[in-house]
Structure 1
Amino acid sequence: MSDKCDLCLLGLIILSSLISDISGVNKFIRSGVNVSLSCNKTLSDCKSTTWIHYNSFSDSWRVELITGWIKNKDTERHERLSLESDCSLNIKNVTEEDYGFYSCEQYVNYRRQGTDARFSLNVLHASSSQTEISPGRSVTLSCQLYSYTGFFCDDLVSSGGVELLWVNQAGVDLNTDSRYQILSSSDQYHCIITLTTTLLNEDNNREWRCQLTHRNQLQTSVTYTVKYSNDASEHSSS
């Protein structure tokens, strides 16, 4: 039992250190945006630079995205990747599949040069499973944080200071309104917070926002806009 407790404590210490610098190693972004990851360039060009993506929860847990100036075309997202002259990695239109750990490494004659640049990319994404949305119907919106830490949301909240929250257009917490049912859950892959409500006539074009805070500071958010039309709904980010 003591060994298990020691391992739990070690895990929480590692988690705290991972999230301690949200502007550096850790990046929390919403899906649909572009992101640029800088490399600690120590060489005159990028021909000896390799960008690697680690995701321990996927079948391909380690993927070399770009080696030198050559992109790995075996990855479905290679068209969304590009390399800048300073060796920074650009990812266009980020999806939930892009979350994970990224490392920029430089080698000369198989010897590592300089210090690796490392990033933990955490992606916030909102969606609805309903295909028909109209007044009188119940709708459930799901907001998910895809996080590389591998810890459960309870640990992210208690030790990392990370929180997901559904708010209205005025930024008011929807937990304070009995019209909405807010449920939180988690697994080792992502954190989930759902919003369920019965739609009213005046809900057309209404926005509900899922926001992510770190130590009570807003980091990013995803907006879901309800549309009463043949298209049922429209999802946009802001």
Structure 2
Amino acid sequence: MKVGDDVTLPCLNVIDEQNNCDGTTWTFTPRNKPTTVELITLGQIGEQAKTQSDRLRVTVNCSLLIKKLTVEDVGFYSCQQYKLGKTRAEDTLVHQSLVDLSVITLTEHKDTEKVTLSCSVVKNEQCRHTLKWLLKGQDVDKENKEIVTSQTHCAATVSVLKNNYLYSSRDEILKCEVTDTKSGRVQVFSSQPSGEETVDPKTTTKMHSKSESDTTPGTTTITKSSPSITALSLYITGAVGLVILVITAVFVIRWKKNKGENIYR
């Protein structure tokens, strides 16, 4: 199962005559921790699991449903079947079944030129899985220069250049194949990240607002501009001055004309 998915853990050999699985108890031992927590106590959410009550539920067949898997859910789960007595101390353990839960994580790391996808298995014990990336359902050609794959212990990565056509369609054509070497079970997962995307801290994003004066190579751009307040003021001042000059000239001409008429009288 992948991080973020829901999973139902089966309870084997469920005893009869149970009312809402009141003879069923589920316990959990996290990976790398010696403590055991009672998730379900006789069909009800255990006191130690109250904070996870929205993620846990017992199904009709007494299986355990876990919603939205996380890495912290990896570990051993035990389904215990009790024949109930008059008191809890008199309950008799009839059967116990174990489930070893592991999860698949898919992460995406971006830097300036490429994106790197990582597929890994988080296990409680030693890894018994093999992982590899598939391109359109086929093994990635090692001679392919446009896509680079690598494998480590219980993990596989693939890197694609951002200027490559594979980058935009990676979620559809790139798949992670996980094989359980013990059971032979094969699962294939989409490259859609199950965890948070990580970004190279050296990479910065510059916000750029394009204006009419921006240019691109080989093009000529005419920049449109509106007259500034200063230019407009000069324009108005010049126009007013011109009107005054015209009025003054008309006045002088009329004055001289009138004066000449007075002389000849």
1:212 aligned partner: 178
- Provide the rounded CA distance (Å) in 2 between the counterparts of 1:197 and 1:30: 22
Relative to structure 1, the CA distance from residue 55 to residue 225 in structure 2 (aligned partners, 3 Å threshold; closer, same or farther) is closer
8 Å contact from structure 1 (residues 52, 66) kept in 2: yes
CA displacement at 1:128 relative to structure 2 = 1.5
Structure 1 residues 145-191: Cα deviation after superposition (integer angstroms, max 9, x where no partner): 0112x21x4xx2xxxxx3101112x21222533333323233xxxx2
Where in structure 2 are the equivalents of 1:48-87 lying within 5 Å? 48-58=23-33, 61-72=35-46, 74-75=48-49, 76-87=51-62
- Provide the rounded CA distance (Å) in 2 between the counterparts of 1:123 and 1:66: 21
8 Å contact from structure 2 (residues 39, 48) kept in 1: no
8 Å contact from structure 2 (residues 146, 164) kept in 1: no
8 Å contact from structure 1 (residues 175, 182) kept in 2: no
Q: Secondary structure at the match of 1:50?
A: strand
Question: Which ranges of 4 or more aligned residues in structure 1 deviate by more than 6 Å?
Answer: none
**What is the identity percentage for the equivalent residue pairs of Structure 1 and Structure 2?**
27
Q: Say which one has the larger Rg.
A: 2
Instruction: State yes or no: 1:126 paired with 2:93.
Output: no
Q: Which has the higher strand share?
A: 1
8 Å contact from structure 1 (residues 30, 221) kept in 2: no
8 Å contact from structure 1 (residues 166, 211) kept in 2: yes
Q: 1:44 aligns with which of 13, 17, 41?
A: 17
CA displacement at 1:43 relative to structure 2 = 4.2
Q: Secondary structure at the match of 2:61?
A: coil
Relative to structure 1, the CA distance from residue 42 to residue 209 in structure 2 (aligned partners, 3 Å threshold; closer, same or farther) is same
- Provide the rounded CA distance (Å) in 1 between the counterparts of 2:169 and 2:76: 37
Question: Higher RCO, 1 or 2 (CA under 8 Å, sep at least 6)?
Answer: 1
8 Å contact from structure 1 (residues 182, 193) kept in 2: yes
Q: Secondary structure at the match of 1:144?
A: strand
Unmatched segments (≥5 aa) in structure 2: 194-198, 200-265
8 Å contact from structure 2 (residues 102, 121) kept in 1: yes
Q: Which amino acid is 1:113 matched to?
A: L
- Provide the rounded CA distance (Å) in 1 between the counterparts of 2:148 and 2:139: 12
1:23 aligned partner: none
CA displacement at 1:74 relative to structure 2 = 4.4
Relative to structure 1, the CA distance from residue 113 to residue 93 in structure 2 (aligned partners, 3 Å threshold; closer, same or farther) is same
Q: Secondary structure at the match of 2:54?
A: helix
Where in structure 2 are the equivalents of 1:1-238 lying within 5 Å? 29-39=1-11, 40-45=13-18, 46-58=21-33, 61-72=35-46, 74-75=48-49, 76-107=51-82, 108=84, 109=89, 112-130=92-110, 137-148=113-124, 150-151=125-126, 153=127, 156=128, 162-168=129-135, 170-174=136-140, 176=142, 177-186=144-153, 191-202=154-165, 203-207=167-171, 208-215=174-181, 219-225=186-192
- Provide the rounded CA distance (Å) in 1 between the counterparts of 2:17 and 2:158: 51
8 Å contact from structure 2 (residues 28, 39) kept in 1: yes
Relative to structure 1, the CA distance from residue 146 to residue 89 in structure 2 (aligned partners, 3 Å threshold; closer, same or farther) is same
Q: Which has the higher helix share?
A: 2
- Provide the rounded CA distance (Å) in 2 between the counterparts of 1:129 and 1:48: 47
Q: Secondary structure at the match of 1:44?
A: coil
TM-score, structure 1 normalization: 0.64
TM-score, structure 2 normalization: 0.59
Unmatched segments (≥5 aa) in structure 1: 1-28, 157-161, 227-231, 233-238
Q: Secondary structure at the match of 1:114?
A: strand
Relative to structure 1, the CA distance from residue 225 to residue 55 in structure 2 (aligned partners, 3 Å threshold; closer, same or farther) is closer
CA displacement at 1:85 relative to structure 2 = 2.8
CA displacement at 1:80 relative to structure 2 = 1.2
